[in-house]
Structure 1
Amino acid sequence: MADKVTGNHLEKQESHSSGSNPNGPNPVNLRGGGNYGYDLRNPMAHIHTDNEARLPAFGGEFQPGLYRPVEARKFANPAPLGLSAFALTTFVLSAVNLGARDISAPNIAVPLAFGYGGLVQLLAGMWEMAVGNTFGATALSSYGGFWIAYGILLTPNWNIIGEGGPYRNAAAEAIDPHMHESAVGLFLTGWFIFTTILLLCTLRSTVMFFLLFFTLDLAFLMLACGHYAVDNGASTAAGMLTKAGGGFGMIAAFLAWYNAFAGIADSSNSFFLIPVFHFPWSEKGREVRLARAATRESRA
């Protein structure tokens, strides 16, 4: 099978050559925009060719589905920057949620939420927009907005959700002094729903890409339930849920760094490339199975 690019879509056509390569399609036919080395059917693949002295970076492209060919792109791949910004900010806040070194106040996460996880990730999302990646632009820009909003929520002395906040209702607080916990729970629940939507779009990509969103989704869910538990008076359960959210957040942070490294490392700057493990039902997974079957037939 070879790929033919028509407009923004990919069309598959049968090869009429009887001497086709048994190891799979010609890598040149899978690329767009010169020697960028991206697999058009799944950008989470690193294409190895014998005629390249320096292999292009695997990509870590923040696009789990069919990828439009890169044509005369003047921007570098912004995905590793956005992933790194997300990873570090998530790592620090998750460490606080886990109670690392007896730290309980999340104030240290505020400057990261504004400067790195917020502003830098938002810029990376805008650059994803510039290169035509809808998924990457939506995800990175949204999580950049999340960190800015969460930074405002945690900013000392602004006290948005506590006593003295701009929307304080003294009468309601007299009835339920912990009602702001449910408000934060709703905030996190909304991000759980959004992350679930993105998660569904990664089911045909790679294992590492899917696990990033899966663990992040569980982190949002655990943290939201932890706030609901406080409002219900279940302080012990709330503590356990918060630590569970911190644990899943920590895993998500390292998975984000993993995917970022996959997008940065190439043969010019690293002695090794890390695997991203294509799902068997993905385009790349099916391609590998067909290539292996063709190889076995040729040997038989």
Structure 2
Amino acid sequence: MPGTSINQWKSDFSDGSSESWEQLHTSQVKSSTGITISPELFEKLYLPKKAAPSDFRKRFANPAPLGSMGSVISGMTFAVILMEWGGATTLVGVAGIFYFTGPILLLLATIFEWVMGNFFSMMVMGMFAVFWLSFGVLETPSWGIAASYSKTGNTAEGAASVGYNAAVALYLMVWGFWLFTMWIFTLKTNTVSAVMFLLSFCSCFVLGASYWKVSTGDYPMAMKLQKAGAAIFFAVALLGYYMTVAMIAAEMQIPLKFPVGDLSSLWPKPDIESAETDKAE
């Protein structure tokens, strides 16, 4: 292309009005002085490469502490009220933990963990988000679920009915089996997470048994099981609090060590990961 200056090439390419970049690479660029330069040199001179960050951790904040914080606040509040600390007897007064404090932060964390490609964290955050939402529906009288079990539409009567309590008991037991399954997978992460899930599925089974005892009319045993399940759940919340603080400290680069007991080193590396490690070495 005689007579075409380098500046003209630069202008045309930036405006998108010249030949395609593929055509540029198949030709030689000649300046007005008659000096021919290769497309590679032209690119280095006028189109400096800007590395597109492929690691999302360099571009976005870690969403895990956000979701964990919401779950911890909701879980701790839930546990202490079930244990009737300070004379608390009902969860209606803190219905916000079931709709806002826990679920919103957990759902946001779920979305961002998905964007960043963190599969297991995404699963955990999404799982607990719907757990709190579902319990919010059960504990909010305006939904009328308990009242639907009463012939007169009385909420208190429905909440004490066999059908309602048996249904909630079965629901909690299903959650217990699923949390047990997730606990198996946490054995590849760290000790704190593994203990949290171990206690979580135990708590679900104990709380489920509490509802089951209500359905059979054994109220004294039901109350004991409720407080026992709540105490276990409180321990889960404390461990979650520790894990959240550990994550925040790591993100803020605070020179304090919060050991979590890494378990990943005890498992064999996947073939792909091993190949990448060998290649890097």
TM-score, with normalisation over the residues of structure 2? 0.68
Partner AA of 2:62 in structure 1: N
Partner AA of 1:140 in structure 2: M
Aligned residues of 2:163 and 2:215 also touching (Cα < 8 A): yes
1:210 equivalent to 2:210? Answer: no
Aligned residues of 1:109 and 1:151 also touching (Cα < 8 A): no
Partners in 1 of 2:222 and 2:141 — Cα distance? 22
Aligned to 1:76, which of 55, 58, 61?
Answer: 61
Alignment of structure 1 residues 145-184 onto 2, 5 Å: 145-160=130-145, 162-163=146-147, 165=148, 168=149, 170=151, 177-184=161-168
Partners in 2 of 1:118 and 1:276 — Cα distance? 25
Query: Where does residue 283 of structure 1 map in the other structure?
Result: 265
Distance 1:150 1:71, change over 3 A: closer
Does the residue aligned with 1:265 lie in a helix, a strand or coil?
helix
Distance 1:92 1:138, change over 3 A: same
Which runs of 5 or more residues in structure 2 are unaligned?
A: 1-53, 270-281
Aligned residues of 2:188 and 2:267 also touching (Cα < 8 A): no
Distance 1:284 1:101, change over 3 A: same
Aligned to 2:170, which of 170, 186, 189?
Answer: 186
Partners in 2 of 1:278 and 1:89 — Cα distance? 26
**How high is the sequence identity, in percent, across the aligned residues?**
24
Which runs of 5 or more residues in structure 1 are unaligned?
A: 1-68, 288-300
Residues 91-127 of structure 1 deviation map (CA, whole Å, 9 limit, x = unaligned)? 0010011110111111133111100111211111111
Distance 1:199 1:268, change over 3 A: closer
Per-residue deviation, 1:72: 6.2
Query: Where does residue 65 of structure 1 map in the other structure?
Result: none
Per-residue deviation, 1:286: 9.3
Partners in 2 of 1:138 and 1:149 — Cα distance? 17
Per-residue deviation, 1:271: 4.2
Does the residue aligned with 1:157 lie in a helix, a strand or coil?
helix
Partners in 2 of 1:261 and 1:268 — Cα distance? 10
Per-residue deviation, 1:204: 2.4
Aligned to 1:110, which of 95, 111, 118?
Answer: 95
Question: Higher relative contact order at CA 8 Å, sep ≥6: structure 1 or structure 2?
Answer: 1
Partner AA of 1:283 in structure 2: S
Deviating above 4 A after TM superposition, structure 1's stretches of 4 or more consecutive aligned residues are 69-73, 284-287
Aligned residues of 2:83 and 2:230 also touching (Cα < 8 A): yes
Does the residue aligned with 2:127 lie in a helix, a strand or coil?
helix
Residues 43-66 of structure 1 deviation map (CA, whole Å, 9 limit, x = unaligned)? xxxxxxxxxxxxxxxxxxxxxxxx
Aligned residues of 1:122 and 1:142 also touching (Cα < 8 A): no
Distance 1:137 1:268, change over 3 A: closer
Report the RMSD for the aligned CA atoms in angstroms.
2.6
Does the residue aligned with 1:185 lie in a helix, a strand or coil?
helix
Query: Where does residue 32 of structure 2 map in the other structure?
Result: none
TM-score, with normalisation over the residues of structure 1? 0.64
Does the residue aligned with 2:234 lie in a helix, a strand or coil?
helix
Aligned residues of 1:123 and 1:141 also touching (Cα < 8 A): no
Q: Which has the higher helix share?
A: 2
Residues 246-275 of structure 1 deviation map (CA, whole Å, 9 limit, x = unaligned)? 101101111111111111103855341211
Aligned residues of 2:63 and 2:112 also touching (Cα < 8 A): yes
1:247 equivalent to 2:231? Answer: yes
Structure number with bigger Rg: 2
Partners in 2 of 1:267 and 1:100 — Cα distance? 34
Partners in 2 of 1:122 and 1:72 — Cα distance? 19
